[in-house]
């Protein structure tokens, strides 16, 4: 048995929870680690059993653990009870060790309720309290979730690409590879929406690589699979899409089952997509469902995305997504150094014009460098 701290275990990936949960010395921490593991796997039977065990100890502290675990169960069932939510709010500042985790769970609950303002606020409060107890890996996830909530409140999410890159660097430094995977997934989705499908495929595959290793079997892992399947469909590679869909079919998450219904309808040209319930989808897939419904009503099945799937277009966007670059760096990376500078400069100019024609406002020239056109929120989150 090992003396793991609560601040440590709440930042573990699913793989770490599976490996270490039975080795935790302190009972309450071990029981909560098992609760987290069951929640992340959508193992509702084990989650309910853990809650019942917490109830059996009949102390105020275990009663608080039981209550926040009950809220986790409601979140996993996508049926958040207002009474449970209010009871959790009442104990949010009762025990400073639990406060950060409680606000994190409240953020999850507000996400289910589609209250993005409260969702973002809860995650920011969670990050503040988590950092105070030294749970930096969980804190960076809370900050990332706050950013995700903010992006859902705005339509032009490509402006957040540099923010995702900041989180990738920060999460790697803290060895929170789950956040790395989710950030790559979000980057991929933004490229998919502007038609940069080569870049979208690259980052979706990166996301799956990280999530397969550290969070295999989690909602995030299966979300990455279903997302890449959608990218494959956009690329016209239906066999590859079906392979990812088959891998996702074993998921016990209602959100994934609903996402697969959307994909199946798109893939097979069926209009039963109009009957799929929004309430069973998480935000990114609600957006896709609305997008597809709009085009179906106009007698199109697939959204007609701008095509930025050329190899050079994808490479240029990949170079810019991590920050501004000058033309000399871009010319060297895109065309090498053998051609004359005039030839390379003309090719870069033509490439930029093609992208701007297909996706106006995506790239701008500022202070001598090219960049994704952003109103960056990096400082707000990275300094929390």
pLDDT surpassing 90 at residue 351: no
Long-range CB contact pairs, 202-209, < 8 A, 24+:
202/314, 202/318, 204/228, 204/231, 206/181, 207/181, 207/182, 208/181, 209/181
Distances (CA, A) of 345 to 46, 232, 325, 367: 61, 33, 14, 18
Token pair in block for residue 54: 């917490």
Give the count of alpha carbons within 13 A of 65, CB side only: 27
pLDDT of residue 87: 95
Residue 43 to residue 10: CA distance in whole angstroms: 18
User: If you ran DSSP here, which 8-state letter would residue 273 be given?
Assistant: G
Written as one string, the DSSP assignment of 314-356 is HHHHHHHTTS-B-HHHHHHHHH-SSS-HHHHHHHHHHHHHHHH
Average pLDDT of span 57-66? 92
| 234's tokens | 């956009």
Across the chain, what does the average pLDDT equal? Answer: 86
Give the residue, 163 or 174, on which the prediction is more confident: 174
pTM over 0.85: no
Which pLDDT does position 307 carry in this prediction? 56
Please state, in angstroms and rounded to a whole number, the distance separating the CA atoms of residues 202 and 314. Answer: 9
The helix-helix angle for 177-193 and 219-234 (nearest 10°) equals 30
Domain ranges of the chain: 1-153, 311-382
Task: Map tokens 């100890």 to a residue.
Answer: 57
Q: Mind listing the pLDDT tens digit for each residue in 280-301?
A: 787 778 878 777 655 444 444 4
Q: What distance in Å separates the CA atoms of residue 14 and residue 20, rounded to the nearest whole number?
A: 10
How much is the average pLDDT of 76-93?
93
Q: For tokens 């999410």, what's the residue?
A: 157
- Of residues 266 and 142, which shows the higher confidence score? 142
For residue 169, give both structure tokens: 């660097």
CA distance 74 to 78: 6
pLDDT of residue 106: 97
Helices marked H in 215-298: 219-234, 238-248, 254-268, 283-297
- Cα separation, 228 vs 218, whole angstroms: 16
b/e map 35-56, b = 16+ CB within 10 Å: bbbbbbbbbeeebeebbeebee
Q: Are 1 and 23 in contact (CB under 8 A)?
A: yes
CATH number of 311-382: 1.10.10
Rounded to whole angstroms, the Cα distance separating 362 from 303 reads 19
State the average pLDDT over residues 257-275: 78
User: With left for phi above 0 and alpha for psi between -120 and 50, is residue 282 left, alpha or beta?
Assistant: beta
Is the pLDDT assigned to residue 341 strictly greater than 50? Answer: yes
> What is the per-residue pLDDT across 168-220, written as a single tens digit (0 to 9) for each?
999 999 999 999 999 999 999 988 888 888 889 999 999 999 999 999 999 99
> Is the separation of the CB atoms in 28 and 5 below 8 Å?
no
Beta-carbon contacts of 248 under 8 Å, excluding residues fewer than 6 positions away, are 222, 225, 226, 229, 256, 259, 260
């Amino acid at each position: 048995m090992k003396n793991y701290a609560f601040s440590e275990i709440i930042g573990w990936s699913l793989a770490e929870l599976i490996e270490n949960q039975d080795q935790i010395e302190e009972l309450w921490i071990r029981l909560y680690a098992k609760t987290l593991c069951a929640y992340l796997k959508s193992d509702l039977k084990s989650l309910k059993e853990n809650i019942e065990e917490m109830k059996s100890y009949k102390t105020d502290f275990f009663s608080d653990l039981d209550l926040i675990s009950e809220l986790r169960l409601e979140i996993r069932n996508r049926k958040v009870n207002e009474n449970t939510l209010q009871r959790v709010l009442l104990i949010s500042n009762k025990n400073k060790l639990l406060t950060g985790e409680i606000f994190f769970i409240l953020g999850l609950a507000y996400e289910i309720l589609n209250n993005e303002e409260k969702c973002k606020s809860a995650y920011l409060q969670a990050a503040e309290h988590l950092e105070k107890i030294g749970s930096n890996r969980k804190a960076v996830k809370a900050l990332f979730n706050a950013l995700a909530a903010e992006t859902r409140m705005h339509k032009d999410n490509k402006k957040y690409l540099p923010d995702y890159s900041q989180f990738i660097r920060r999460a790697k430094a803290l060895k929170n590879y789950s956040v790395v995977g989710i950030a790559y997934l979000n980057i991929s989705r933004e490229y998919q929406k502007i038609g940069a499908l080569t870049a979208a495929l690259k980052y979706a595959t990166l996301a799956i690589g990280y999530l397969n290793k550290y969070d295999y079997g989690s909602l995030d892992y299966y979300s990455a699979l279903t997302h890449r399947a959608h990218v494959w469909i956009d690329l016209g590679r239906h066999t590859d899409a079906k392979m990812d869909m088959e891998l996702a079919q074993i998921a016990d998450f209602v959100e994934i089952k609903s996402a697969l219904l959307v994909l199946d309808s798109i893939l097979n040209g069926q209009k039963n997509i109009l009957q799929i319930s929004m309430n069973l989808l998480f935000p990114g897939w609600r957006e896709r469902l609305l997008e597809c419904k709009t085009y179906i009503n106009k007698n199109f099945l697939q959204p007609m995305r701008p095509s930025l799937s050329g190899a050079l277009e994808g490479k240029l966007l990949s170079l810019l997504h991590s920050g501004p670059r000058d033309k000399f760096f871009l010319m060297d990376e895109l065309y090498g150094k053998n051609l004359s500078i005039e030839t390379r400069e003309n090719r870069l100019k033509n490439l930029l014009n093609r992208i701007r024609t297909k996706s106006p406002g995506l790239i701008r020239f500022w202070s001598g460098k090219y960049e994704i056109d952003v109103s960056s929120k990096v400082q707000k989150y990275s300094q929390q």
